[in-house]
Amino acid sequence: MKALGLDVGGANLKSCLIEVKGEQLTVEVKSLYLPLWKVGKEKLEEELRRLSRGVRGIKLVGLTMTAELSDVYYCKREGVHHVIEAVEKAFKDPRIRVVGVKGSLLSPDEARERFMEVAAANWAATGWLAAKLLDTCVVVDVGSTTTSIIPVVEGEVVAKGLNDLEKLALGELVYTGALRTNVATVVDKVPLRGMMVRTSSELFATTGDVHLVLGHISEGDYSVDTADGRGRSREEALARLARVVCADHEMLSEEEIIDVAKYVYRKQLNMVAEALLQVYGRLIKEYGIKPPAATAGLGADFIAEPALREVGIRKVHRFKDLVGPASRMVPALGAGLMAIDEEIRLDLRGLKVSCHSPRGSN
């Protein structure tokens, strides 16, 4: 059986083309940077149509989304309705199933009517997959923009928050990511020349610059717009970071800028660690357990794992060891597999996984 998993975000469109044959699971992953607030919501329809022309023979589309939060939409209702309509126009033949926050699948009409159940539900697809593969864990999925923390106990997703507002309060969502986060939201002061120097609140640099100059990511990983619209070279990233303290690369040495980046990185880890303590604290209180973690997303190795070590979690499963390149788009993979599982019950632990990313895809 062939299905397409879609994760429609406000900044990225991610897809997993999934085929199950016997005990073999084959996945082709694609990611497209698509900032809807810049390119307009009509561009989503265009890119979905282009995607549909490249996938043949699919019976199902598993859809999840976070794009409804984008300010290209006036409200979540409008965003959910538009995303569903765009997918329906692009994929006329396959049966479309939409992931809900309670781990269920809804028809497009049900999703439109119960729009808050499908808004920002991509974490539920990730949790579903983790429950099938690992049974008990805390998923830490660090994407370009946000970090999702998803507790799973004995094959059941036990997250308390059912929308972004609740999840931000409960530590299950941290608005910090590997690429797009404004450095000014991570720190308001940095150590420099023996002083704590206040930072500008302008969008001068992002965490993509931090992680590029620290060697955590490559230029190819830096798949989003830069703060100044210039390139993604190390030198350009250093220049952007210098502007955070209203300086430039002629006023500060490279060593000084690197020290600023290291400080920002430490503060970002602290943000994630604080949320992890909140989630693990509840699991200890309610279930008496401190389960292993499972890391996913672009920032799995350099944000999720160090933050986990900071709170004393040493046992870590890595989605990249389980699903290869699809570990950077687990919600899309989970959505597609949920749709297939609804039709033919899958024993995911018994499947042999082959995953690849075509040339030119992030």
Q: Determine, yes or no, domain membership for 242.
A: no
pLDDT tens readout for residues 42-82? 999 999 999 999 998 999 999 999 999 999 999 999 999 99
106: β partners: 98
Do 107 and 97 meet the contact criterion of CB atoms below 8 Å apart?
yes
- Asked if the structure places residue 126 within a domain, the reply is yes
Complete DSSP assignment for 37-71 = HHH-THHHHHHHHHHHHT--S--EEEEEE-GGGST
CB-CB contact of 270 with 167 (8 Å): no
Is residue 94, in this structure, part of any structural domain at all?
yes
Structural domain includes residue 202: no
Domain contains 83:
yes
Supply the angle between the helices 76-90 and 42-53 in degrees, to the nearest 10. 30
Reduce the DSSP state of residue 26 to 3 states and report it. strand
Q: What pLDDT was estimated at residue 124?
A: 99
Total of domains in the chain? 1
CA atoms of 80 and 64, how far apart (whole Å) = 10
Domain holding 76, by residue range, is 2-177+272-356
In this structure, what CATH number is given to the domain that contains residue 40? 3.30.420.40
Whether pTM > 0.75 for this model: the answer is: yes
DSSP string of 77-141, one letter each residue? HHHHHHHHHHHHHH-SSSEEEEE-TTS-EE-HHHHHHTHHHHTT-HHHHHHHHHHHHHSSEEEEE
Q: What is the pLDDT of residue 84?
A: 99
With contact defined as beta carbons under 8 Å apart, do 23 and 351 qualify?
yes
pLDDT at residue 350 in the model: 85
Is 161 a domain residue?
A: yes
CB 98 within 8 A of CB 64: yes
Instruction: Specify the pLDDT at position 5.
Output: 99
Residues of the chain whose pLDDT is less than 70? 359-362
**Pair 139, 126: CB distance under 8 Å:** yes
For residue 76, being part of any structural domain is answered with: yes
Say if 42 falls within a structural domain.
yes
User: What local confidence, expressed as pLDDT, does residue 362 receive?
Assistant: 54
